[in-house]
Chains A and B, each alone.
Chain A
Amino acid sequence: MSSFKAHSVLPGFNLALGFTLLYLSLIVLIPLSSLFFKTATLGWGGFYDVATSDRVLASLRVTFTTSFVAAIVNALFGLIVAWVLVRYKFPGKRIIDALVDLPFALPTAVAGITLATLYAPNGWLGQYFAAQDIKVAYTPLGIVVALTFIGLPFVVRTVQPVLADVEAEVEEAAASLGAGRWDVFRRVIFPAIFPALLTGFSLAFARAIGEYGSVIFIAGNMPYISEISPLLIVAKLEQYDYAGATAIAVIMLLLSFSLLLAINALQWWSSNRGAR
């Protein structure tokens, strides 16, 4: 213990570490571990049955694919929004900047109902999609729309400061060396903001996996097609099948954790190149 704190000049290591561990335990580890204990009452066989049931597998597939697609969409368009907010001056910029945070502040159910109304086949926007034979509301596409809505701020807010930090001089240097605009973006700007973009992506992704409120109104919640795992958990709870509900939660938890771990590793690798 004393060996890795010996060199620090900062005081309060023991206190700070102790507090961190206690706090994490109370807020994160104990509630999550109780999930595992409750699930354990099923036994391996019971757990396996829940985990491999068609309806659960289908819901997991819907949840993770829609979340992934939404996070990708957010990464792409969030980057553009951040770019515009950082690089250009235009009237109303502050208002647009403030608008970005609205999905954070709005109750998710309100967002869900609004989106469902807008994108319903007879809604303001839905009617145009319906004319093209595209159904948005009550399909997985609708889920992607809702998840994109709630995930946008994560990407914008993580990329924005990093992008603002890229010095104009670095771009001028690249241009004077003969690099075209695309080369400047691809070789100079993008590598600099990639770790932040990845953080934004993983935050949006994680948020989307756990999202419930906004999705259930627009999803239609048809089993095997547009039913998300969190809804299935709620359904199990309503049937007093607590162990079954926690079993799904455990599966989601493990999947999310390994995905986030992988993203973190990728991020560690990308930001470690030259960041020291």
Chain B
Amino acid sequence: MSITIENLNKNFGSYKALDNINLEVNSGELLALLGPSGCGKTSLLRIIGGMELADSGKLLFHGEDVQQRDARERNVGFVFQHYALFRHMTVFENVAFGLRVKPKKERHNEAEIKRRVHELLNLVQLDFLHDRYPAQLSGGQRQRIALARALAVEPKILLLDEPFGALDAQVRKELRRWLRRLHDELHITSIFVTHDQEEALEVADRVVVMNKGKIEQVGTPDEVYAAPATPFVYKFIGNVNMFHSRDHAPWAAEHGDAVAYVRPHDIDISRIAQDDTALPVEVKLVRAIGSIVRVEVALDSSSEIIQIELSRERFDSAPLVIGDKVFIRPRQFRVFESGVLNELSAA
């Protein structure tokens, strides 16, 4: 089911949580709401789920206005960061909850409820835990149960609020891959909130980057990483070096008061000046991290540190040591003039 959001606003007192949000969520896609804490992503999710009301604007499910509909009438599955499982119920009863509270005439008989619950528990690969209580499960298991519980009522839309936020790194990685596979099987329109850019880029079909209650950019993971629409997106997704036209960076100079943004892996290092735009620098730090080598250099003209990432291969072919005097030149950069995209450039 598609979701359309038009001119949505939400204030908490004088604080603007959502500022004129417009967004189209396609049917069957997995969308990530990405942003720092306090950017309004959770508020947006809760408004879609019916847990909060927008101050103004439109919210349509498949073209139908649902603003007046209660959370229980929206047929939306919701998964919480801290699981929100029912502590006094077994895993089985947790998953069965949504089926048991259906109005009498829609309710399935006990055998059918049993069949469906076990089917869902098999889907999340935890059927063997059906008679345990939530307190006896690990965090990752609890979140999978919470997901099974949300899926039990066959929602048309699935909303996940920082679903992996409370888990440790290893479990997070496993679970998000698992979520991606699950989504490929079920094709429920899903929105998940996260502040972890890696998670958003890895899992989502499209990413919505938010900041201070506004949408900064909507695009595929590749688009938001390779072609950030605003300086904020540049800084929030991945690492970036900024070159101010006033101080240095001849390639940005012609724009007056502008800033060039360059990814650490888009910088070439050379012993001799490539051309007259190359910047002379001194190597300050060399650190091998897994498959990449991170090099920090300082411009001769200032103490500002520039981060460069090289593949191991590339580094090995021309090794550097601290104190080396070298030249750098960006392969690719974007220039923003007072926050507005001015030029894309590939040198």
Binding site for B on A (CB under 8 A): 167, 169-170, 172-180, 183, 187-188, 191-192, 273-276
Considering only residues 58-106 of chain B, those with a C-beta below 8 Å from chain A are 70-78, 80, 82, 84-90, 97-98, 100-102
For the A-B complex with A179-B101, A274-B135 known, give 18 more contacts whose Cβ atoms are closer than 8 Å.
A167-B82, A170-B85, A175-B70, A176-B50, A176-B72, A176-B77, A176-B78, A176-B150, A177-B101, A177-B149, A178-B101, A179-B98, A187-B101, A192-B88, A273-B133, A274-B88, A275-B88, A276-B135
Asked if B150 and A183 sit within 8 Å, CB to CB, the answer is no
Asked if B97 and A179 sit within 8 Å, CB to CB, the answer is yes
Asked if B135 and A169 sit within 8 Å, CB to CB, the answer is no
User: Given contacts A169-B80, A175-B72, A178-B72, is CB(A273)–CB(B50) below 8 Å?
Assistant: no
Asked if A170 and B86 sit within 8 Å, CB to CB, the answer is yes
Query: How many residues on chain B are close to A (CB under 8 Å)?
Result: 35
**Which residues of B have CB within 8 Å of A273?**
88, 133
**Which residues of B have CB within 8 Å of A167?**
82, 84
Closest residue of A by beta carbon distance from B73: A178
Asked if B76 and A176 sit within 8 Å, CB to CB, the answer is yes
**Which residues of B have CB within 8 Å of A179?**
72, 97-98, 101
Closest residue of A by beta carbon distance from B76: A176
In angstroms, Cα B146 to Cα A187, docked, is 17
Asked if A178 and B84 sit within 8 Å, CB to CB, the answer is no
**Which residues of A have CB within 8 Å of B87?**
192, 274-275
Closest residue of A by beta carbon distance from B98: A177
In angstroms, Cα B75 to Cα A73, docked, is 39
**Which residues of A have CB within 8 Å of B53?**
none
B213 at the binding interface (Cβ < 8 Å): no
User: Given contacts A176-B72, A177-B152, A177-B153, is CB(A170)–CB(B98) below 8 Å?
Assistant: no
Asked if A177 and B97 sit within 8 Å, CB to CB, the answer is yes
Q: Give the shortest distance, in Å, between B162 (CB) and chain A (any CB).
A: 12
Asked if A275 and B135 sit within 8 Å, CB to CB, the answer is yes
B123 at the binding interface (Cβ < 8 Å): no
Name 14 interchain pairs, CB-CB below 8 A, sorted by A: A169-B82, A173-B78, A173-B85, A173-B86, A174-B101, A175-B72, A176-B51, A176-B71, A177-B149, A178-B98, A178-B101, A180-B101, A191-B86, A275-B88
**Which residues of B have CB within 8 Å of A192?**
87-88
Q: Give the shortest distance, in Å, between B272 (CB) and chain A (any CB).
A: 61
Q: Give the shortest distance, in Å, between A48 (CB) and chain B (any CB).
A: 46
5 residue pairs, one from A and one from B, having the closest CB atoms? A177-B98, A274-B133, A169-B84, A179-B101, A176-B78
Q: Give the shortest distance, in Å, between B252 (CB) and chain A (any CB).
A: 48
Produce 1/0 per residue, B116-155, CB < 8 A to A: 0000000000000000011110000000001001101100
Asked if B51 and A178 sit within 8 Å, CB to CB, the answer is no
B228 at the binding interface (Cβ < 8 Å): no
Closest residue of B by beta carbon distance from A176: B78
In angstroms, Cα B136 to Cα A192, docked, is 17
Binding site for A on B (CB under 8 A): 49-51, 70-78, 80, 82, 84-90, 97-98, 100-102, 133-136, 146, 149-150, 152-153
Asked if A188 and B70 sit within 8 Å, CB to CB, the answer is no
**Which residues of B have CB within 8 Å of A172?**
51, 71, 78, 80, 84
Closest residue of B by beta carbon distance from A181: B72
- Among B71, B102, B133, B134, the one with the most A-chain Cβ atoms within 10 Å of its Cβ is B71
**Which residues of B have CB within 8 Å of A188?**
86
**Which residues of A have CB within 8 Å of B100?**
187
In angstroms, Cα B86 to Cα A210, docked, is 38
**Which residues of B have CB within 8 Å of A274?**
87-90, 133-135
In angstroms, Cα B71 to Cα A180, docked, is 10
**Which residues of B have CB within 8 Å of A275?**
87-88, 133, 135
Closest residue of B by beta carbon distance from A170: B84
Asked if B97 and A174 sit within 8 Å, CB to CB, the answer is yes
Asked if A183 and B101 sit within 8 Å, CB to CB, the answer is yes
Q: Give the shortest distance, in Å, between A76 (CB) and chain B (any CB).
A: 21
Asked if B136 and A276 sit within 8 Å, CB to CB, the answer is yes
**Which residues of A have CB within 8 Å of B77?**
176
Closest residue of A by beta carbon distance from B70: A175
Closest residue of A by beta carbon distance from B52: A172
Closest residue of B by beta carbon distance from A182: B101
In angstroms, Cα B73 to Cα A175, docked, is 9
**Which residues of B have CB within 8 Å of A174?**
86, 97, 101
**Which residues of A have CB within 8 Å of B136?**
276
**Which residues of A have CB within 8 Å of B85?**
170, 173
**Which residues of B have CB within 8 Å of A170?**
84-86
Q: Give the shortest distance, in Å, between B248 (CB) and chain A (any CB).
A: 50
Q: Give the shortest distance, in Å, between A51 (CB) and chain B (any CB).
A: 42
**Which residues of A have CB within 8 Å of B72?**
175-180
Asked if B82 and A178 sit within 8 Å, CB to CB, the answer is no
Q: Give the shortest distance, in Å, between A57 (CB) and chain B (any CB).
A: 41
In angstroms, Cα B85 to Cα A167, docked, is 10
Q: Give the shortest distance, in Å, between A95 (CB) and chain B (any CB).
A: 26
**Which residues of A have CB within 8 Å of B86?**
170, 173-174, 187-188, 191
Closest residue of A by beta carbon distance from B149: A177
- Among A167, A177, A183, A273, the one with the most B-chain Cβ atoms within 10 Å of its Cβ is A177
Q: Give the shortest distance, in Å, between A75 (CB) and chain B (any CB).
A: 19
Closest residue of B by beta carbon distance from A191: B88
Closest residue of B by beta carbon distance from A188: B86
Asked if A178 and B134 sit within 8 Å, CB to CB, the answer is no
Q: Give the shortest distance, in Å, between B269 (CB) and chain A (any CB).
A: 50
Asked if B70 and A173 sit within 8 Å, CB to CB, the answer is no
In angstroms, Cα B98 to Cα A183, docked, is 11
In angstroms, Cα B135 to Cα A183, docked, is 23
Q: Give the shortest distance, in Å, between A163 (CB) and chain B (any CB).
A: 14
In angstroms, Cα B76 to Cα A180, docked, is 15
**Which residues of A have CB within 8 Å of B76?**
176
